[in-house]
Chain A
Amino acid sequence: MPVSLNYLVRRVGWSIATIAGVVILSYLVLVLSPGDPAVKWAGNPRGPGAAKAIENARKELGLDQPLYLQVLNFLRMAFTGDLGISIAYKKPVSEILWRGLAATLELLALAYAIAIPLGAFIGVMASLRRGTWLDGFIQSASLVLANTPTFWLGIAIFMVLSTSGVTAYGRVDTRLALATGFRSITGLYLLDALVQLNFPVFLDVLARTFPPALAVAAYPVGVCARVTRALMADALLEGFVQSAVAWGVSRRAVVWRYAFRATLAGLVQVSGLAFAYSLVDAMVVEYVFGRDGLGRFLFDSVNTSDFRLATGLIIVVALFYVLANTLADIVQALVDPRVKL
C-alpha cells in the first residue's frame, strides 16, 4: 500500500471541512436574499388569518431561532441529506436535485467515456509523430476545442441535427418508455434500462444522449490530448522505456504497455479535474437539448426565486466538485507512488 492512511484521513477530513464551509456559505444566500421566506412559505396570505399563518410558517422553517442555531441546524440537516423543501415546487429539494443530478451524471459519464479514450489516443498519436503536420494539427485542434464555448457548440450541434431532420431531444422517447413499461428507479436511465433488460429504451437513451455528450466532450478531449502528449513525451524518454526498447520489446508494446501506462496517473488526475469542471458545461448543454437535468434548476431557481432550491443546488454542485477532486487525488496517490505528501 503506497498511500499512507494518514494521507487519506487528512484528505477526506479536509474535503468534509470544505463542504461544511460551502453549506454555511449557501445558508447565507438564504438569509441575505430579499423577501421573507416565511411569507412565501405560507403562500402570501392576507386578511385576518394572515399574521398567524406567517408566524406558523416561521416556526415551521425554524426561522424564529437565532442565526447561529439556524446555521447549525442547516449543517446537521445537510449532512443527513435533507436540504429542506423547495418553495416553488413544495417538494424535498434533495429529491428534485437527485433526479436532475442523475440526468446530468449520465450525460457527463457518456461524454467522458468518449473523451478520455479519444483524447488519450490522439495525444499518443501526436507524441509519436512529434513535429510532423499531424502533431501540429492535433495540437491546434485541441487548443480550439478547449477554447470553444460549450453552450455555443451545443447549439451548433443541435442546429445541424435539427435542420437535417434528426432531433436529439429529451432523455427518452416517452411513448417507447410507456409502451415497454420502462420505469426509472435510480434516475440513471441507461442503468435502469440495462437492469430491466429493456434494450430498446437503452438504445434510445444512448442515441439521445450522444449528441449533447459530444458537445460536453469537446473540452476534455482537448485537455486529455494535450496532457497525454506532454506526459508521453516525457515518458518516452524515461529510463525504463528506453531499456525496454533496448531489450527489443515491440514498438506497440513499448508505447502502450510501458510509456502510456506511465502517463495514466497524470491523465487520471487531469480528467478528474476536468470532470468537475465539465459539470457546469453539461448543465448548460442540457438546457440547449431540452433535458431535465441540473441545468434547468439553475434557471428555475433564479426565475422562481426559490432560494431553497438554489441553496441545494450550490451544495450539490460543490459536493460533486470536492468529491471528484478528492477521488482524483486519492487515485493519483494510489497509482503514482511518487506522490507522498
Chain B
Amino acid sequence: MMNKGHRSNLGGLGELARRAWSRSLRFRAGVVIVVVMVAVAILGPFIAPYPSDGWGAVPPKAAERAGKPPGPEFLLGTDHLGRDVLSRILVGAWLALAQSLAVISIGLALGLLLGICAAYYRQAIEATINYIAEVFLALPAVILALALRMVLGQGIHVVIGSLLLTWWPWYARVAYVYARSIAEMEYITLAKLAGVPGRRILVRHIAANVLPPVLVQAITDVGSVLLEAAAINFLGLGLPPDAPDWGIIVQNGFKYVISMPWISLFPGLFILLTALGFSMLGDSLREELDPKMRRRWRLWF
C-alpha cells in the first residue's frame, strides 16, 4: 500500500474526484447534497422568509402565531413561540457546517502534527503523545462536553472543544502509524546515511502518502461530527437554548412532539441529509482510492 500511494499527492485528489464523479452515482448525489447545504449555509439568512425568527427572536403577537402547522404562510410550520421553523433551519445551516468543519480542520491539523512528532522524536514525546491520545479516545465527545460545560459554562466552545479533543487522536494515530512505517523503511535509512535530513523526507512522504486517504476520511468524518455536535446541543450541553442550531431546535420541539411534531421533525431531517451527503462523498472517494482500505487504525497498539 505504501508503494502504491507514492505517486499520488494532493493534486491526485482532484483526479480521484473526477473518477468518482464519472463512476459513482452515490458520489454525485453526495456532491449535490453538500453543494446545496453549503449554498444554504451562505445564503440562509438572506433567503429565510422571516430572518429575525431565524435568529431566535420571538415575533410580536407570538401567541397568535404559535404552533401553526406547515402551510403556505409558514412552509414548515411555527414553533411554540410563533417562530417560523423554516427560517430557524435556514439561518442555522451555517452554524451546523461551521461547527463540524472547524472541528475537522483543526483536529486534522493538530492530529497530523502531533502524530508525526510522536513518530519522529520517539521516546518520551512519543509515549506522552500516544498516552494522551489514548486517554482522549476513551472519552466520548458528549461526556467531554459535560466536563467542559461544568468547568467553562455553556457556549460554542463546549461543542468545538469537546469534539476537537475526541477527534484529533484519530488523525494523530494514522499519521503516527504511517510515519513510523515510513521512518523504518530502508530507503529512509539510506537517505539519512546519505545526509538528507530525516525530517524533510518524513514530511514529504507523509504529505504524499498520508494526506490523500486521511483527507478522504475527514470528509466522511464531517458527517459524524455533525451528528455528535447535534447530540451535544440536543442535550443542552452546548449552545444556548435560543441558538438556531438544528440539535437545539429538535430539543425545543421535543416537549411539544405530540401536539406540534413538525418542530422536531424537519431540523432532524436536515441533520440526517447533511451528514448523509458528507458520508456519501467520503465513502465513494474512499472506494475509489482503495477498495480494500478500512479503518484498521485501532489494530495498531
Contacts and interface: CB of A to CB of B under 8 A. Distances in A.
Q: Do chains A and B touch in the complex (CB under 8 A)?
A: yes
B203 interface: no
Given A33-B150, A159-B258, A302-B149, A151 B250 contact: yes
Interface string A86-106: 000000000000000000000
B231 A280 contact: yes
A273 B272 contact: no
Given A21-B131, A147-B275, A149-B268, A284 B146 contact: no
Nearest to B269: A152
Nearest to A277: B140
A151 B120 CA distance: 42
A168 to B, nearest CB: 14
Question: Which secondary structure characterizes the binding site on chain A?
Answer: helix
Contacts of B265: 156
A25 B227 CA distance: 25
A33 B280 contact: no
Contact of A149 (B149, B231, B236): B231
A318 B143 contact: yes
Contacts of B149: 302
B151 A269 contact: no
Contacts of B235: 151, 284, 287, 298-299
A19 B135 CA distance: 7
B101 interface: no
Interface stretch (B8-16, B55-63, B293-301): B293-301
Contacts of A234: 292
Contact of A162 (B140, B258, B271, B300): B258
A298 B150 CA distance: 11
Interface in B244-276: 247, 250, 254, 257-258, 261, 264-265, 268, 271-272, 275-276
B143 A317 contact: yes
A22 B257 contact: no
B299 A339 contact: yes
A73 interface: no
A301 interface: yes
Interface of B: 26, 131-132, 134-135, 137-143, 146-147, 149-151, 223, 227, 230-231, 234-237, 247, 250, 254, 257-258, 261, 264-265, 268, 271-272, 275-276, 279-280, 283, 292, 294, 298-301
17 contacts: A18-B138, A22-B138, A22-B139, A29-B147, A149-B234, A149-B272, A152-B264, A155-B250, A155-B257, A230-B294, A269-B298, A280-B231, A284-B142, A284-B231, A298-B146, A302-B150, A313-B143
Given A29-B147, A280-B141, 19 more contacts: A21-B131, A147-B223, A147-B276, A147-B279, A148-B272, A149-B231, A149-B268, A150-B231, A152-B271, A152-B272, A155-B268, A273-B298, A280-B142, A287-B235, A298-B142, A301-B150, A302-B146, A310-B150, A341-B300
